[in-house]
């Protein structure tokens, strides 16, 4: 199958990253893969199935509908909704056997009511806020909150967790004190006979930097996708999972002094060969790469010239004269001996790798490969009218 722009997801690399993470945390610790935002742009149904096959114990999503999508993809392992859920989502949470995060008493009571009416016991996790200040119960109120939940019918607190916002080396003291506060709460309650089967704090950076953050479950995201927010965190030999590719769709000779693309931000300093590549910011090739970065073609770097447009990006291929229509172009990933990493792209765009992969647009088909073979293709065509509905016009 031929596409003009596509992402390639290396499922083999993803599975090996799961195994590396498993080695790092040991067999006693559960792994919850954070698979929110469509698995950071990698496609959550495929990634979820592969990760479970590779030994991930649980999945973490941000929203109810991300959880339902995974259930629809045949995934049976427990799925934790990390963001706060709303009372009007309770029926579907129960129907799809999802595990909500609870940090609001009114929500917990409503959940208890609905679960009891169905004679069900619903598992929940409680987030304790020790410094992220995003969701969760404030640390000072956590013990009382958990005592109250221990008395609610139909609700079992299966897990407690906190989130560490500053694990990238910048703030070791703060992170250590968060872990200590969290541990203190767990121990206080343990002293009262209130215990939790799953206790977790660690994102990818904490997994690699803070052994004391592992408890009995970890929540990696980025490292399983072969990424960290910052490149220099990669000390564990992870493999990149996603590459982003396109093709040359036009090549032309353009005279010295002419301008290219919107806003005429670039004038050619010599007679040039200019190639049009079939990917733009509508695909996730970020506009701030305009006049700022390279793409790979024929195994070499070709500079992006002029503004990146919605559909097309121009590169200067004067020094790579063999370039022809149909040639594969790598936006990030490897080609021959050359590589453009997602970190390089992120740095040029003044952001982190996660935002780049999350931003690969809906119009970009995903090609899944394992051991060099294509194992699945997902095109996001979306709603489709029946054929007769189209031919009538």
Q: Which residues are catalytic?
A: 36, 262
d(CA 197, CA 157): 8
162 strand-pairing partners: none
Exactly one of 15, 125, 214, 219 binds ligand PLP (CB under 6 A); which one? Answer: 219
Positions 77 through 116 that interact with ligand PLP (CB under 6 A): 82
Subset of residues 195 to 214 that bind ligand PLP, contact rule: CB under 6 A: 203-204
Q: Using the rule CB under 6 A, is 163 a contact of ligand PLP?
A: yes
Torsion sign across C-alpha atoms 20, 23, 25, 26 = positive
| Contact window for ligand PLP (CB under 6 A) among 116-124, 218-226, 297-305, 337-345 | 218-226
What are the two backbone dihedrals, phi and then psi, of residue 68, each rounded to the nearest 5 degrees? -65, -40
Q: Does 131 participate in binding ligand PLP (rule CB under 6 A)?
A: no
Nearer residue to ligand PLP within complex by CB, 78 or 220? 220
Minimum distance, C-beta of residue 55 to ligand PLP, in the bound complex (Å): 17
132/320 with CB nearer ligand PLP: 132
Q: Which of residues 19-38 bind ligand PLP (CB under 6 A)?
A: 34
DSSP string, 20-75: HHHHHH-TTSEEEEE-HHHHHHT-HHHHHHHHHHTT--EEEESSHHHHHHHHHTT-
Q: How far is the CB of 192 from ligand PLP (least distance, A)?
A: 26
The residue among 145 and 228 lying less far from ligand PLP, judged by its C-beta, is 228
**Taking contact as CB under 6 A, which single stretch among the options 43-51, 215-223, 280-288, 369-377 is the one that binds ligand PLP?**
215-223
Q: Least distance in Å: CB of 33 to ligand PLP? A: 9
Check binding of 220 to ligand PLP (CB under 6 A): yes
d(CA 290, CA 348): 10
Q: Which residue has its beta carbon closest to ligand PLP?
A: 221
Residue (233 or 304) nearer to ligand PLP, CB: 233
For 142, other C-beta atoms within 10 Å of its C-beta total 26
Closest CB to ligand PLP among 213 and 272? 213
Helix and strand counts by DSSP (H, E) for the chain: 12, 21
Q: Give the number of residues written for the chain.
A: 393
Alpha-carbon span 12 to 376, nearest angstrom: 13
CA distance 101 to 76: 18
Could you identify the residue written with the tokens 């509905």? Answer: 389
Q: Please report, as ranges, the residues that interact with ligand PLP according to CB under 6 A.
A: 34, 82, 163, 203-204, 219-222
């Amino acid at each position: 199958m031929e596409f003009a722009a596509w992402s390639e997801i290396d499922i083999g690399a993803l599975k090996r990253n799961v195994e590396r993470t498993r080695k790092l945390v040991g067999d006693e610790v559960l792994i919850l893969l954070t698979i929110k935002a469509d698995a950071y742009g990698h496609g959550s149904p495929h990634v979820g199935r592969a990760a479970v096959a590779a030994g991930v114990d649980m999945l973490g999503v941000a929203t109810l509908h991300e959880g339902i999508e995974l259930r629809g993809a045949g995934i049976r392992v427990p799925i934790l909704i990390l963001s706060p859920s709303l009372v009007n989502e309770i029926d579907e949470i129960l129907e799809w056997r999802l595990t909500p995060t609870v940090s609001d008493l009114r929500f917990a009571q409503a959940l208890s009511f609905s679960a009891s009416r169905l004679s069900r016991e619903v598992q929940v996790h409680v987030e304790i806020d020790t410094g992220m200040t995003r969701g969760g119960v404030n640390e000072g109120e956590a013990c009382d909150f958990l005592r109250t939940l221990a008395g609610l019918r139909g609700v079992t607190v299966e897990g407690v967790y906190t989130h560490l916002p500053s694990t990238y080396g910048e703030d070791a003291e703060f992170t250590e004190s968060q872990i200590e506060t969290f541990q203190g709460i767990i121990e206080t309650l343990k002293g009262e006979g209130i215990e939790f089967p799953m206790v977790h704090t660690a994102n990818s950076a904490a997994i690699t930097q803070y052994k004391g953050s592992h408890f009995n479950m970890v929540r990696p995201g980025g490292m399983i996708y072969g990424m960290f927010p910052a490149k220099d965190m990669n000390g564990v030999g992870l493999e990149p999972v996603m590459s982003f590719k396109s093709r040359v769709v036009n090549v032309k000779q353009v005279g010295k002094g002419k301008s290219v693309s919107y806003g005429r931000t670039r004038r050619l300093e010599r007679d040039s060969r200019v190639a049009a590549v079939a990917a733009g910011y509508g695909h996730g090739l970020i506009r701030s790469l305009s006049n700022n970065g390279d793409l790979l073609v024929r195994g070499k770097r070709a500079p992006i010239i002029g503004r990146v447009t919605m559909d097309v990006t121009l590169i200067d291929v004067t020094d790579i004269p063999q370039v022809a229509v149909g040639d594969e172009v790598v936006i990030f990933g490897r080609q021959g001996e050359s590589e453009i990493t997602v970190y390089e792209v992120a740095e040029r765009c003044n952001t982190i790798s996660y935002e780049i992969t999350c931003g690969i647009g809906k119009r970009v088909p995903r090609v899944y490969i394992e051991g060099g073979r294509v194992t699945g293709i997902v095109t996001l065509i979306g709603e489709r009218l029946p054929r007769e509905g189209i031919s009538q016009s």
